[in-house]
């Protein structure tokens, strides 16, 4: 036997996905996360896989792991006490951020306190010019003094972020070397080592988050490595990265910034895979959990990438799968304002106390409670989540609101769902406009605990006609980890005008990026297989204040064909902004290179379709369309490829419930995905 | 038709989605930095009568909630499907408030009838006129502020009015950019129309029409409920712009706010007359003009962030704005720098609200720092370029519960800065310093947010620096509840050298190669008694370099030696200082106190009442003559009283028989 195991640690549950290489079967499992003893749930889960599916530790040939430890360290502010060394006269980069306040309309809006307050920010005398030349070498006396001051106020590590270092890291490296000499072993991080981009705030805050979480993440990965060895798992553990790839856990210990969004990104990778398999290459993924919903767009089967994702209260600027979080989930609380209007969110009952129907002390009605009242949930056991749904508690929570707005309990529950869905519609509409997506050309893929419950309603509001619910919607991130490739990003800011005298710089810099990429893949990641290089550049028209990334062909890069590079940019600009200007001067701000080493992929077998109407296990009464209606209830494991059914229907499986309203029909595709079609 | 609360809330979400989508479409397809980075634009939907019922929340300028397009809409005789109309004339319909703001509106039809309008504006970097970027305080009439388009059809029944576009583009400095942004605006109109049609399909025309009116009604109800929480009373406050024209006299903005049950009246009768400079605030006599209402809306939103931000909020309020005053100027007064006027108006209204709601309203916000624009030549390439450097924002005022935010959060919470590295890479400048200005925040139990400083050097001849909104060198942001005023702003050329020039409130300056410019915004006001601030907070401020050791001693009475608090010395010093400390009321700086010892409210009332009787053209002139003679009197050491003001007015009357009858006193 040989198994590939993907694990994703979330706030409440840790998800497992074990793929049997011989039978091509997928086994899934959820165990409770143990935030107090991070890593122990992995071992618990591996044991449980053994008990339940006969997976023995020595059979595990490939192991990937997504974790929220980095994000949680930032959210809970449990990182190390850092000092920051900056260029003299530029000490307020974190305090000022980019000025714009979080809530522009409120007189009392506050910026979150920076991870490093100004009493731990110190100056170094040095200066690099914008063209990368050195105006002033580092004055060692200022480094010595600043380091002493930092240690005096209890700093446990230092981040160095100097003006214009993106162009030349000489001075940052010089400061780092001095600190290492003065204080051997003291943690020290250079902004240009973390991610060397132009824009001092963006680069600095990224390096600060990195340094802040690094010791904790490193410690965690080390204990995980040890625990896996102790458990006799011989596979070299890989961790999932924000960029949708994987790297070895060993590398993760020093490249923490790259694995901050590990689990979220893996979910989108899993969704991309399902979107390709199901024949819907353009898909919007909607991952709804208890407190938030993550939205991502997948085009041609590929996730989209961006920078500036938000971690807790701070943005981080490294290449990440573009995912936008909406503050609404199954636990969002419904309430009535003082003018008698029913509202939903933004407050959430979270996982503690959770929805009223969980019986853990929650008293206020949530979206999940509304679904319980309507009858979609709670008429059957939920499987391994070990949560008993208490319908009475859900009803009484909704009753409180019903009384205030003068409606029946079921009508109120319906209103909560409708308002919640319209709120999601509003947030997703923004994204649709920002990314210029036509929702009618996209399928909606729902996963996460509450995704399949709400997906059809959201799709109907958005005018989306196809909804896909993967076979394992509850553990898609864990599955994504098994599909992700080995991947790393490299960047160099060059700031040259295409066709100018400095064009040769492009070829030279790409060459040096290639060398670094190969060194990473072969030596650091120790990967011997085939690889692919993806070239791209952040470009803009001269005078623009923002860049867009255009993919370049390896051939044009090798031959230094600047006309072709410019044309790639014009086309991308046209695509994104609906206009381009072929006469305007084009600047390249950043050169980018991605190296990808293919990971061994699980094979998802295509099944023969047995087209026939599915037989419901039974019918249940659900309040829909203003009245109680008999609705078919199906068990997911009984819906085989080719089976069809019509809404209204409910499909239950161990990790979630799919609600299919009237007007939709469903079928199971050759890979076991549930595909729902709207008549609208 | 009756629409229940649930449907209304769902419709509200759909309307918000429509305007957010318009905004995202605009940002995505726009060309200029102003739209993409500074976000100086709006998008919205209005009722058939032009009342804005929905606008985006996350994107765009915050000054124009509930903009009223009614008068502008009526200036176009008739509408056909496919029309897109435009204006950028501040005097046609009073929807546009200075010429760079190009407003568009697009009627949306259903079965042959208009059901609503998609609307919006973009601040164009330049629309021609006397100076680059079209805006300078020195402009005195609207004709200097660039091309003006009266309400006109940009598209007539779906067909572009190319001639109109050509005329506009011929008159501006960067036509490609204006045209690019205009196309983005048009795309945003189309997005709005599509979304409205989707809403009509989903909700039905009756629910849509009725619902949009109900959104306004609902906001009005919310507003009335909130106003009831504000104590009834009359609240007076005044604040000043340092100069009413280049090197002029102070310009006073005053309001008498009356809160009665669920309504508010802002009486601006004691405001200065319109000025012969571009600081005027064009409201067209509309008592609910949005420029007068910005702080009111911030206050309501701060009281309850769930209010619907639309025109309905404005219904319970009104204002009194005499014709020919700063807040209701007559054509063709220049209005380009109305943003400076509006900022001071905001400060003035906040002062009034602060008396009614002391726990909610922050002390005076740090302002007076400019938006900086550099026009220079790249010596390496010979290319001329014009670029925005950072906005020099002030800090936020201290509140009753915490210190003000450092360096931002004041009247321009929506602005972003430009990274130092981007500035240096794109513009031939070297940034020497960008950061917070130590000791600039007003002292208080809660400290005012510090201002920011930008210091830079340029290297080419014929370099011009424009510094829009320069102010607050003289009168600084006020403290509240006994807190101190913020420190003044400043503007220097070659500071600390033997070629140092104090540029004060100058807003355009030409400089030489190698010159250094240093601009600092004012700090915000503090709140509460500085001597009661816990010494550990003062020490932390010193460690963070927000406050110097010297200021800790002089302003907070905290003695810090060798990085530690000397507790005994602190106790003794605070006791000595305590005698002279204010523990309540507004904190004004010495300059303001001195000015107001001459120009008391009663003295000013005599002047304003006399000026209001004069023909509008004469008012500014007579004000200056009176200030001149009062200044002479003050310098002679005399205490100025109402009779002195009357005497000064009589002297002017004697010199100018044309106006002697208006200036006749009993």
CATH number, domain of A40, equals 3.30.420.40
Residues in B closer than 8 angstroms to A433, CB to CB, are 20-25, 28, 191
Which residues on chain A are in Cβ contact (under 8 Å) with B299?
107
Query: CB-based contacts of B73: which residues, under 8 Å, 6+ apart?
Result: B49, B50, B93, B105, B117
Rounded to a whole number, what is the distance in Å from the CA of B130 to chain A's nearest CA? 23
- With the C-alpha atoms ordered B246, B247, B248, B252, is the resulting torsion angle positive or negative? positive
Q: Work out the average pLDDT over A203-228.
A: 94
Question: Could you say which of B225, B405, B424 has the minimum Cβ distance to residue A339?
Answer: B225
Q: Report the first-to-last Cα separation within chain B, whole angstroms.
A: 60
Domain boundary among B529, B547, B575: B529
Overall domain count for chain A? 4
Question: Is B273 a domain residue?
Answer: no
Q: What is the DSSP string of B615-662?
A: -HHHHHHHHHHHHHHHHHHHHTTPPP-HHHHHHHHHHHHHH-GGGTTT
Domain match, A126 and A158 both: yes
Same domain, B499 and B394: yes
Residue A339 lies in a domain: no
Q: What is the pTM (predicted TM-score) of this model?
A: 0.92
Average of per-residue pLDDT across A34-48: 83
Domain that holds residue A251: 3-74+217-262
Of the three residues B500, B529, B558, the one that is the final residue of a domain is B529
Q: What mean pLDDT comes out for the span A387-416?
A: 93
Q: Is the domain of A524 the same as that of A572?
A: yes
Chain A residues whose beta carbon lies within 8 Å of the beta carbon of residue B125: none
Domain contains B338 = no
Within a domain: B541: no
Q: What is the predicted pLDDT for the residue at A530?
A: 93
Cβ pair B123, B41 in contact under 8 A: yes
> Are B67 and B188 contained in the same domain?
yes
- The reported pLDDT for the residue numbered A327 is 82
- Per residue in A457-498, pLDDT (tens digit) is 999 999 999 999 999 888 889 999 999 999 999 999 988 888
pLDDT at residue B229 tops 90: yes
Same domain, A82 and A153: yes
**Looking at beta carbons, which residues of chain A come within 8 Å of B425?**
130, 198, 495
Alpha-helix residue ranges (DSSP H) falling in A470-599 = 476-483, 504-518, 554-559, 562-577
Chains A–B, number of C-beta pairs less than 8 Å apart: 201
Distance separating alpha carbons of residues A502 and A494, to the nearest angstrom: 9
Evaluate whether residue B554 is within a structural domain.
Answer: no
B409 and B511, same domain (yes or no)? yes
Mind telling me how many Å the CA of B184 is from chain A's nearest CA? 9
Q: Quick check: B335 pLDDT over 50?
A: yes
Q: Considering CB atoms only, which of B27, B417, B432 is closest to A96?
A: B417
| Count of domains for chain B | 3
Q: Is A260 within 8 Å of A317 (Cβ atoms)?
A: no
Distance of CA A143 to the CA centre of its chain: 38
Q: What are residue B200's phi and psi, to 5 degrees?
A: -65, -40
Same domain, residue pair A108 and A208: yes
Nearest to B222 by CA among A343, A429, A367, A412: A343
Picking from A343-357, A546-560, B255-269, which range would have the lowest pLDDT averaged per residue?
A343-357
Same domain for A209 and A82: yes
Residue A41 domain-assigned (yes or no): yes
What is the rounded average pLDDT of the residues B533-553?
Answer: 97
Least reliable range by pLDDT among B35-39, B339-343, B651-655: B35-39
Residues in chain B with CB shorter than 8 Å from the CB of A153 are: 543
Query: Is residue B233 one of the residues assigned to a domain?
Result: no
Task: Reply yes or no on whether the pLDDT at A337 is more than 90.
Answer: no
Identify the residue among A341, A370, A419 best suited for mutation to test binding to B, counting B beta carbons within 10 A and taking the highest: A341
Q: Collect all residues of chain A within an 8 Å Cβ-Cβ radius of residue B36.
A: 544-546
> Do A118 and A172 have their domain in common?
yes
Residue A323 has pLDDT above 50, yes or no: yes
Tens of pLDDT, residue by residue over A516-557, are: 999 999 999 999 999 999 999 999 988 777 788 999 999 999
Query: Is residue A102 domain-shared with residue A157, that is, in the same domain?
Result: yes
* Closest C-alpha to A252, from A70, A13, A74: A70
Is A629 a domain residue? Answer: yes
Share of chain A above pLDDT 70, in %: 98
- The answer to whether residues B394 and B520 belong to one domain is yes
pLDDT of residue A381: 62
Would you say residue B637 has pLDDT above 90? no
Nearest-Cα distance to chain A for B665, in Å, is: 45
**B324 strand-pairing partners:** none
> Does the pLDDT of residue B642 top 90, yes or no?
yes
The residue from B204, B222, B240 where one domain ends is B222
Looking at the fold, whether B373 and B505 belong to one and the same domain comes out as: yes
Chosen from A84, A89, A99 to mutate, greatest number of chain B CBs within 10 A: A99
User: Who contacts A602 (Cβ-Cβ below 8 Å, separation ≥6)?
Assistant: A4, A19, A21, A24, A26, A482, A483
Q: Is A501 on the interface with B (CB under 8 A)?
A: no
Q: How far is B402 from chain A (nearest CA, A)?
A: 9
| Placement of tokens 């010494």 in the chain | B535
Q: Which residue has the higher pLDDT, B527 or A57?
A: B527
Residue A384 has pLDDT above 60, yes or no: no
CB–CB contact A90 B434 (8 Å) = yes
B386 and B502 assigned to the same domain = yes
Find the closest chain A residue to B405 by CA distance.
A110
| B33 lies in the same domain as B161 | yes
Q: Do residue A129 and residue A193 come from a single domain?
A: yes
Mean pLDDT of B95-100: 96
- In degrees rounded to 5, what are phi and psi of residue B38? -85, -20
- Structural domain contains residue A162: yes
Residue A358 pLDDT greater than 90, yes or no: no
Q: B520 and B606 share a domain?
A: no
Q: Are residues A70 and A84 in the same domain?
A: no
SS (H, E, C) A356-392: HHHCCCCCCCEHHHHHHHHCCCCCCCCHHHCCCCCHH
Closest Cα to residue A439, out of B407, B21, B69, B358? B21
Question: Residue B36 and residue A545: Cβ atoms within 8 Å?
Answer: yes
- Any B CB within 8 A of A609 CB: no
Comparing C-alpha atoms, which of B264, B442, B237, B260 is closest to residue B346? B237
pLDDT at residue A13, rounded to an integer:
76
Q: Give the mean pLDDT of chain A.
A: 91
Chain B hits for A202, CB-CB cut-off 8 Å, are 419
Contacts of B391 in chain A (CB under 8 A): 99
Co-location of A93 and A198 in the same domain: yes
Q: From CA A542, how far away is CA A476, in angstroms rounded?
A: 43
pLDDT in tens, A248-307: 999 999 999 999 988 889 999 999 999 999 999 999 999 998 888 999 999 999 998 887
A207 and A82 belong to one structural domain: yes
B508 lies in some domain: yes
Residue ending a domain, among A597, A630, A664, is: A597
Spell out the alpha helix ranges (H) of B468-600.
535-543, 549-556, 567-578, 590-598
The angle subtended at Cα B109 by Cα B107 and Cα B113, nearest 5°, is: 110
Burial class (CB in 10 A: 0-12, 13-18, 19+), A386: exposed
What pLDDT, on a 0 to 100 scale, did the predictor assign at position A148?
97
Q: Is B615 found in the same domain as B467?
A: no
Domain holding B510, by residue range, is 363-529
Contact B413 A546 (CB under 8 A): no
pLDDT interval class at A386 (50, 70, 90): low
Q: Which helix (H) or strand (E) holds B178?
A: helix B175-203
Residue A385, pLDDT above cutoff 60? no
Of A262, A292, A324, which one is at a domain's C-terminal end?
A262
Question: Average per-residue pLDDT in chain B?
Answer: 93
Reported as a single tens digit per residue, the pLDDT across B357-408 is 999 999 999 988 888 989 899 888 888 887 888 889 889 999 999 999 999 8
Cross-chain Cβ contact B408/A130 below 8 Å: no
Asked whether residue A174 falls in the same domain as residue A87, the answer is yes
For residue A2, the SS3 value is coil
Residue B400 in domain: yes
Q: What is the DSSP letter of A88?
A: T
Residue A308 inside a domain? The answer is no
Q: Is residue A574 part of a domain?
A: yes
The residue with greater pLDDT, B107 or B423, is B107
Q: What is the pLDDT of residues B41-57, one digit of tens each?
A: 999 999 999 999 999 98
Summarize pLDDT for B557-579 with one digit per residue, the tens: 999 999 999 999 999 999 999 87
Q: What is the per-residue pLDDT for B1? A: 60
CB contact under 8 A, B435 and A111: no
**A383: pLDDT strictly greater than 60:** no
What is the mean predicted confidence (pLDDT) over B451-459? 96
**Predicted local distance difference test score (pLDDT) of residue B666:** 41
For tokens 């639309």, what's the residue?
B310
In a domain, B399, yes or no: yes
């Amino acid at each position: 036997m040989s198994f590939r195991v993907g694990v994703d640690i979330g706030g409440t549950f840790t998800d497992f996905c074990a793929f049997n290489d011989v039978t091509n079967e997928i086994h899934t499992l959820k165990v409770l996360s143990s935030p107090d003893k991070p890593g122990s749930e992995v071992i618990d889960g591996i044991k449980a896989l053994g008990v339940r599916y006969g997976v023995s530790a020595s059979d595990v040939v490939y192991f990937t792991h997504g974790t929220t430890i980095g994000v949680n360290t930032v959210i809970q502010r449990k990182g190390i006490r850092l000092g920051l060394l900056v260029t003299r006269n530029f000490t307020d980069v974190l305090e000022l951020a980019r000025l714009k306040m979080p809530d522009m309309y409120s007189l009392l809006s506050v910026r979150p306190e920076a991870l490093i307050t100004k009493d731990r920010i110190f100056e170094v005398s040095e200066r690099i010019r914008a063209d990368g030349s050195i105006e002033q070498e580092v004055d060692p006396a200022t480094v010595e003094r600043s380091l002493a001051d930092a240690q005096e106020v209890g700093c446990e590590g230092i981040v160095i972020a100097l003006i214009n270092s993106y162009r030349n890291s000489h001075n940052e490296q010089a400061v780092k070397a001095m600190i290492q000499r003065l204080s051997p072993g003291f943690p020290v991080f250079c902004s240009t080592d973390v991610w060397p981009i132009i824009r001092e705030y963006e680069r600095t805050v990224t390096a600060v988050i990195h340094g802040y979480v690094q010791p904790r993440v490193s410690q965690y990965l080390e204990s995980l490595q040890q625990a896996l060895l102790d458990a006799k798992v011989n596979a070299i553990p890989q961790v999932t990265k924000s960029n949708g790839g994987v790297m070895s856990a060993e590398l993760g210990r020093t490249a923490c910034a790259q694995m901050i969004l590990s689990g979220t990104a893996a979910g989108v990778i899993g969704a991309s895979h399902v979107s390709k398999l199901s024949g819907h290459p353009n898909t919007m993924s909607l991952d709804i959990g208890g407190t938030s919903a993550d939205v991502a767009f997948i085009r041609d089967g590929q996730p989209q990438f961006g920078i500036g994702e938000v971690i807790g209260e701070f943005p981080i600027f490294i290449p990440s799968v573009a995912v936008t979080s909406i503050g609404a989930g199954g636990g969002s609380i419904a309430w009535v304002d003082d003018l008698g209007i029913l509202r939903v969110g933004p407050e959430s009952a979270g996982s503690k106390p959770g929805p009223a129907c969980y019986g853990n002390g929650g008293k206020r009605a949530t979206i999940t409670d509304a679904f319980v009242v309507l009858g979609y949930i709670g008429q059957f056991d939920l499987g391994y989540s070990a949560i008993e749904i208490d319908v009475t508690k859900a009803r009484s929570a909704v009753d409180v609101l019903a009384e205030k707005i003068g409606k029946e309990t079921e009508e109120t529950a319906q209103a909560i769902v409708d308002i919640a869905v319209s709120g999601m519609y509003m947030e997703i509409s923004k994204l649709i406009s920002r990314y210029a997506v036509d929702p009618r050309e996209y399928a909606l893929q729902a996963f996460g605990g509450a995704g399949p419950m709400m997906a059809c309603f959201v799709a109907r509001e958005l005018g989306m006609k196809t909804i896909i619910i993967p076979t394992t919607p509850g553990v898609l991130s864990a599955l994504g980890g098994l599909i992700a490739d080995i991947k790393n990003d490299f960047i160099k800011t060059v700031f040259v005008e295409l066709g100018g005298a400095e064009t040769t710089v492009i070829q030279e810099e790409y060459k040096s990026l290639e060398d670094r990429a190969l060194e990473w893949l072969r030596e650091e990641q120790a990967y011997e297989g085939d690889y692919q290089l993806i070239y791209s550049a952040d470009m803009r028209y001269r005078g623009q204040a923002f860049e867009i990334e255009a993919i370049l062909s390896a051939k044009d890069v090798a031959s230094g064909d600047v006309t072709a590079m410019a044309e790639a940019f014009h086309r991308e600009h046209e695509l994104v902004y609906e206009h381009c200007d072929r006469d305007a001067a084009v600047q390249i701000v950043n050169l980018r290179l991605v190296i990808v080493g293919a990971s061994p992929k699980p094979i998802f077998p295509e099944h023969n379709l047995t087209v026939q109407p599915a037989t419901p296990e039974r019918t249940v009464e659900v309040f829909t369309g203003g009245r109680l209606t008999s609705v078919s209830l199906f068990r997911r494991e009984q819906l085989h490829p080719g089976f069809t059914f019509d809404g209204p229907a409910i499909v239950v499986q161990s990790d979630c419930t799919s609600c299919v309203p009237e007007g939709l029909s469903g079928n199971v595709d050759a890979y076991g995905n549930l595909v729902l079609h709207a008549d609208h | 038709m009756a629409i229940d609360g649930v449907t209304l809330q769902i419709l509200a979400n759909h309307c918000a989605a429509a305007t957010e989508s318009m905004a995202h479409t605009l940002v995505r397809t726009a060309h200029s930095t102003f739209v993409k980075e500074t976000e100086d634009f709006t998008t919205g939907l209005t009722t058939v009568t032009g009342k804005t019922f929905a606008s985006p929340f996350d994107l765009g300028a915050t000054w124009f909630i509930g903009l009223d397009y009614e008068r502008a809409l009526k200036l176009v005789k008739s509408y056909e499907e496919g029309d897109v109309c435009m204006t950028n004339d501040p005097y046609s319909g009073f929807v546009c408030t200075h010429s760079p703001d190009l407003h568009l509106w697009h009627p949306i039809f259903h079965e042959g009838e208009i059901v609503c309008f998609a609307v919006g504006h973009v601040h164009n970097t330049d629309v021609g006129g006397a100076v680059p970027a079209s805006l300078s305080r020195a402009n005195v009439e609207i004709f200097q502020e660039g091309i003006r388009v009266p309400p006109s059809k940009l598209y007539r029944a779906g067909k572009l009015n190319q001639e109109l576009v050509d005329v506009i583009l011929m008159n501006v400095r960067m036509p490609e950019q204006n045209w690019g942004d205009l196309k983005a605006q048009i795309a945003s109109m189309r997005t709005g129309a599509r979304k409205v049609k989707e809403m009509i399909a989903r909700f039905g025309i009756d629910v849509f029409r009725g619902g949009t009116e109900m959104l306004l009604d609902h906001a009005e109800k919310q507003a009335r409920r909130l106003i009831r929480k504000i104590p009834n009373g009359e609240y007076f406050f005044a604040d000043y712009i340092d100069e009413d024209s280049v090197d002029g006299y102070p310009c006073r903005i005053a309001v008498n706010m009356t809160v009665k049950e669920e309504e508010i009246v802002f009486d601006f009768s004691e405001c200065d007359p319109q000025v012969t400079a571009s600081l005027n605030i064009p409201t067209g006599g509309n008592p609910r003009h949005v420029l007068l209402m910005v702080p009111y809306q911030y206050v309501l939103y701060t009281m309850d962030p769930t209010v619907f931000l639309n025109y309905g909020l404005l219904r319970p309020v009104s204002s009194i704005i005499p014709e020919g005053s700063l807040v209701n100027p007559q054509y063709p007064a220049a209005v380009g720098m109305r943003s400076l006027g509006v900022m001071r108006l905001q400060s003035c209204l906040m002062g009034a609200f602060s008396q009614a709601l002391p726990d909610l309203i922050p002390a005076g916000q740090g302002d007076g720092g400019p938006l900086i624009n550099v026009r220079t030549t790249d010596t390496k390439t010979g290319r001329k370029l014009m670029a925005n450097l950072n906005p020099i924002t002030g800090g936020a005022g201290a509140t009753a519960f915490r210190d003000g935010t450092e360096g931002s959060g004041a009247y321009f919470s929506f602005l972003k800065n430009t990274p130092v590295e981007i500035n240096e890479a794109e513009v031939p400048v070297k940034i020497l310093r960008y950061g917070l200005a130590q000791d600039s925040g007003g002292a208080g139990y809660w400290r005012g947010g510090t201002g920011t400083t930008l210091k830079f050097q340029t290297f080419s001849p014929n370099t011009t620096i424009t510094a829009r909104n320069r102010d607050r060198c003289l009168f600084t942001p006020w403290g509240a509840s006994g807190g101190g005023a913020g420190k003044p702003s400043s503007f220097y050329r070659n500071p600390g050298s033997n070629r140092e020039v104090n540029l004060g409130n100058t807003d355009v300056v030409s400089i030489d190669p190698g010159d250094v410019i240093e601009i600092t915004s004012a700090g915000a006001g503090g709140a509460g008694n500085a001597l009661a601030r816990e010494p550990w907070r003062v020490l932390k401020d010193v460690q963070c370099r927000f406050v110097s050791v010297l200021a800790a001693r002089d302003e907070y009475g905290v003695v810090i030696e060798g990085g530690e608090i000397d507790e005994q010395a602190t106790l003794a010093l605070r006791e000595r200082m305590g005698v002279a400390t204010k523990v309540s009321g507004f904190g004004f700086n010495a300059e303001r106190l001195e000015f107001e010892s001459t120009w008391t409210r009663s003295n000013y009332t005599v002047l304003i009442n006399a000026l209001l009787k004069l023909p509008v053209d004469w008012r500014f002139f007579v004000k200056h003559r009176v200030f001149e003679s009062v200044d002479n009197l003050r310098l002679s050491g005399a205490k100025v009283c109402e009779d002195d003001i009357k005497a000064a007015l009589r002297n002017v009357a004697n010199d100018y028989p044309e106006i002697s009858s208006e200036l006749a006193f009993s």
